[in-house]
Amino acid sequence: MSSPSPSSSLAQVRQARLDKIQRLREMGLNPYPSRASRTHFCADILERFEEIEGQKVTVAGRLMSWRKHGALSFGHVQDQTGRVQLYVRRDTLLPTDAAENRLGYEHLNLLDVGDIVEAEGEVVRTERGEISVKAERIRLLTKSIRPLPEKWHGIQDREIILRKRYLDVTHNPEQLKRYELISRMVFEVRRFLDARGFLEFQTPVIQPQYGGGTARPFTTHVNALDCDMYLAISHELYLKRLIAAGFDRVYTVGRYFRNEGIDRTHHPEFSMVETMTAYADYTFNMDLIEELFRHLATHVFGRTTFNVAGHAIDFGQPWRRVSMADAVLEATGVDFRNITSPDEANARLREMGLTEEQPTVGHAMAYAFEEKAAPGLIGPALVYGHPVEISPLAKPMAEDPRFAERFEIFIAGMECGDNWSEQNDPVTLLERWKQARDLAGADPEEHHPLDYDFIEVLEHGIPPTTGIGPGIERMAMIFLELENIDDIIFFPLMKPVVSPVNRAIYGIEERPGLPSRLPAVTLDPESFSQLVRDDVFRPLAKTILVRPHLQVWAQGAPRKAWHATVSYEIGGLLDHNRLVVTGPTLTAQSEEEFERLCEAATENGANGFAETLKEKFRGCRVEFAPVSREHAPRVAQEG
RNA sequence: GGGUCGUUAGCUCAGUUGGCAGAGCAGCUGACUCUUAAUCAGCGGGCCACAGGUUCGAAUCCUGUACGACCCA
């Protein structure tokens, strides 16, 4: 066998390591065994050194460094708890043994930094004073064939950190610790609620209506039911159904999906713990949320004061509780409780320098609060008693029905949660819902569709109920003192990419990409064929992909007519634009006829110019993608 | 949505006025019995993000595109 060529592009480094695997196999060793026999974690050995010095232990983990020094070698093994040094001597390491998958000293060059290894030996302190495992046996557990990032600087490129978090975390144990804390935080949320008699439930992520909040949903299609559905924007309405069923304290640690912007504090997919408590009002939740934060601070993070956006926030003290009217009075000197007309309220706003006209006294007070009082609430503070005009889903207060049984959490001037006594009067709720829909039109950020099934639940009756929904990531950002949600979410959402290096290594063929938001160049089939014959197009890839597309704009009822337009998207000829070739418009009187026409049009139409493509570009494959179909949005189902 | 910036070897980064593409780590070969960013000697490794343009000549200047970061709303 020829020695590996001395070179080091990634592909060549990888090949050198694959060659080592080959040599291991020839020696009868398994580069990917399944059995490991760790007895101690690294941190145990370091922390309990006095106790276990001289004992024989087995550690296992990733080999993070390797320093060969003639008949003596040193390295570090890293596991979930930390790193411990391996101290290896030629004269005391047992020789290679295939049955034990063991490597002797002369074969240690088959190991690489990054491999997963196991070492058995005595716990000692080296002459230089480092606590180490003096290895008698070294076993390879997993051969790594990709090099780790630079050992001193690690990964600096933010994009690679986010895309390959596992590499960043491998290099930075403090990052590993951070994600461990987030995991422990969720565990403690469960323990906290469990201790208070709450039961955890799984609620559906795929929902037929996107109720329980106002946000743009992700849409999906359930094939088995042939039905469009939505990913949960909230789990609230299902928790209330559980209350209707007779459970009095329920919660879910749920996944929430909102098809909206991504920024420092927002991510399309996130988690919340959402509770629902029967036979309690919003004051119960004011206590609950305060205790929850205090519990997490002390039990997970071991302290009560945290630096949030430059402010020292102490969760150990009782939180300030202030009515919104009092908060505004304090900040502006105006008591909106004494104001009776919108005109007067707007006059007061103008005196404060707030010029946006407000429709009601309640709106005016909320506006003044948001602009003048909220930024000063360093807190943590609980602001209660919102105007009913802006609280359609909350119950009005019995003692003053102008204000709702509702509170918001403020930490360092930021709103961190919204909670209320749930409106359980089905008639009132249905009215409010319809009003909101009429006001907002079709914007899902302003209202959500009517969920008659849920109204029916309320008609059967649910007890007085109240819930909280603190966000997992938001809480983690506060407790970990981080301002970027990407530092909390281990796998942030990013556009998929394939690096040129991986393309080469794995032999991934460059597929004609069809990103839909590129501007389109549209041609009729005759012009297109002519341009192909005139050598206007040059293929950019080995495959030219033809993707037939059906835009269905009428389907059956109410007029018993079927209409669709056919088009063909051609991938692999244009780089910065989509290339679209138009097709026929189909009209049919029955579903069977329509399906027949669709089939014929997508095949025959494509073949018309496909023949030209095949003739002209003989070196390329002309492939057909499955037909995609788009239905025009259904109009006015209701009313 | 707006602005600013980035993209050079697997990783971290240089690259002057537009003139042969550079280093460290990692890799390969060898030496070395207490190293820990080991050291020493030697050897390799590049679609300078992509596509155009200007130019005798472009990593460098111009335009566009992609991906990303930061700031603002």
Q: Which residue is nearest to nucleotide B28 (CA to C1')?
A: A6
Q: Which residue is nearest to nucleotide B50 (CA to C1')?
A: A575
Q: Report, in ranges, which bases of strand B sit under 7 Å from a protein C-beta.
A: 6, 9-13, 24-29, 31-39, 42-47, 49, 51, 64-73
Q: Is the CB of A636 under 7 A from strand B?
A: no
**pLDDT for residue A239 is more than 90:** yes
One-letter amino acid for residue A407 of the chain: F
For residue A576, which nucleotide's C1' is closest to its Cα?
B65
Q: What is the mean pLDDT of chain A?
A: 84
**pLDDT for residue A556 is more than 70:** no
* ipTM for this prediction: 0.90
**pLDDT for residue A299 is more than 60:** yes
Over residues A163-182, mean pLDDT: 90
Tokens of A14: 């990888």
Q: Which residues in 16-35 of chain A line strand B, with CB less than 7 A from it?
A: 16
Dihedrals φ, ψ of A281, to 5°?
-115, -170
For the segment A391-429, what is each residue's pLDDT rounded down to a tens digit? Answer: 877 889 999 999 999 999 988 877 888 888 888 999 988
Estimate in Å the CA A251 to C1' B8 gap, whole number: 53
Distance in angstroms (rounded) separating the CA atoms of residues A559 and A73: 83
Distance in angstroms (rounded) separating the CA atoms of residues A82 and A63: 12
For the segment A265-290, what is each residue's pLDDT rounded down to a tens digit? Answer: 889 999 999 999 999 989 999 999 99
Note the pTM of the prediction, 2 decimals. 0.78
Dihedrals φ, ψ of A419, to 5°?
-145, 150
Q: Is the CB of A266 under 7 A from strand B?
A: no
The answer to whether A85 touches A120, Cβ cutoff 8 Å, is: no
The answer to whether A255 touches A269, Cβ cutoff 8 Å, is: yes
Estimate in Å the CA A13 to C1' B27 gap, whole number: 6
Distance in angstroms (rounded) separating the CA atoms of residues A512 and A514: 7
